[in-house]
Amino acid sequence: MPYLEPMPEKKNELEQHIAVFGESSSGKTVLVSSFYGAAQQAAFVENSLYRVVANDIGQGSRLNRNYLGMRDEATPPLATQFAATSYAFSIKLKEPPAARAPKDQPFDALRLVWHDYPGEWFEQSLTGEEAQRRIDTFRALLHSDVALLLVDGQRLLDHAGEEERYLKSLFNNYMNGLLTLKDDVLVDGKPLVQFPRIWMVALSKADLLPDMDAYAFRDMLDLKAADDINELRSVLKSFVQAPDAMSVGEDFLLLSSGKFEPGKIDLSERRGVDLVLPVASILPLERHARWAKLQNLPGKVAENLLGAGFYVLGAALLGKKFFGKAIPLPLAAALAFLNKDVVDAASRVANDALRDLNEKALAKRNYVTATLTQFQLDLNTAEAKRTLLRSAK
- The string of DSSP letters for 20-53 reads EE--TTSSHHHHHHHHHHHHTSHHHHHH-SEEEE
Whole-angstrom distance, CA of residue 327 vs CA of residue 12: 7
Question: 92 with 107: CB under 8 angstroms?
Answer: no
pLDDT of residue 81: 60
133 or 274, which is more confident?
Answer: 274
Q: Sign of the CA dihedral 38, 40, 41, 44?
A: positive
User: Which tens digit of pLDDT belongs to each residue from 113-135?
Assistant: 898 877 777 666 667 777 777 78
**Is a pLDDT exceeding 60 seen at residue 203?**
yes
Whole-angstrom distance, CA of residue 18 vs CA of residue 6: 12
pLDDT of residue 130: 72
Segments of the chain assigned E as strands: 13-21, 50-54, 85-93, 109-117, 146-152, 198-204, 247-254, 259-261, 264-266, 388-389
- Cis amide linkage into residue 328, ω under 30° from 0: yes
Whole-angstrom distance, CA of residue 108 vs CA of residue 365: 12
What number is the average pLDDT over the span 351-379? 82
pLDDT of residue 231: 96
346 or 187, which is more confident?
Answer: 187
**Is a pLDDT exceeding 50 seen at residue 333?**
no
Average per-residue pLDDT for the chain: 81
pLDDT of residue 162: 96
CA-CA distances (angstroms) from residue 70 to 65, 118, 229?
A: 9, 21, 34
Q: Sign of the CA dihedral 27, 33, 38, 41?
A: negative
User: Which tens digit of pLDDT belongs to each residue from 12-32?
Assistant: 667 888 999 988 888 888 999
pLDDT of residue 337: 44
Q: What is the DSSP letter of 306?
A: T
Angle at 20 between CA 17 and CA 26, to 5 degrees: 160
pLDDT of residue 332: 39
**Is a pLDDT exceeding 80 seen at residue 296?**
no
Rounded to 10 degrees, the C-alpha dihedral 17/256/233/384 comes to: 90
- Spell out the residues 6+ positions from residue 179 whose beta carbon is closer than 8 angstroms to its own: 235
Ramachandran assignment for 319, one of left (phi > 0), alpha (psi -120 to 50 degrees), beta (any other): left
pLDDT of residue 255: 97
Question: 353 with 311: CB under 8 angstroms?
Answer: no
Whole-angstrom distance, CA of residue 334 vs CA of residue 340: 12
User: Which tens digit of pLDDT belongs to each residue from 37-60?
Assistant: 999 999 999 989 889 999 999 999
Whole-angstrom distance, CA of residue 140 vs CA of residue 17: 10
Q: What are phi and psi of 49, to 5 degrees?
A: -80, -15
Ramachandran assignment for 205, one of left (phi > 0), alpha (psi -120 to 50 degrees), beta (any other): left
- Spell out the residues 6+ positions from residue 347 whose beta carbon is closer than 8 angstroms to its own: 282, 285, 286, 289, 290, 314, 317, 376
Beta strand 85-93 with 198-204 is: unpaired
Whole-angstrom distance, CA of residue 7 vs CA of residue 219: 39
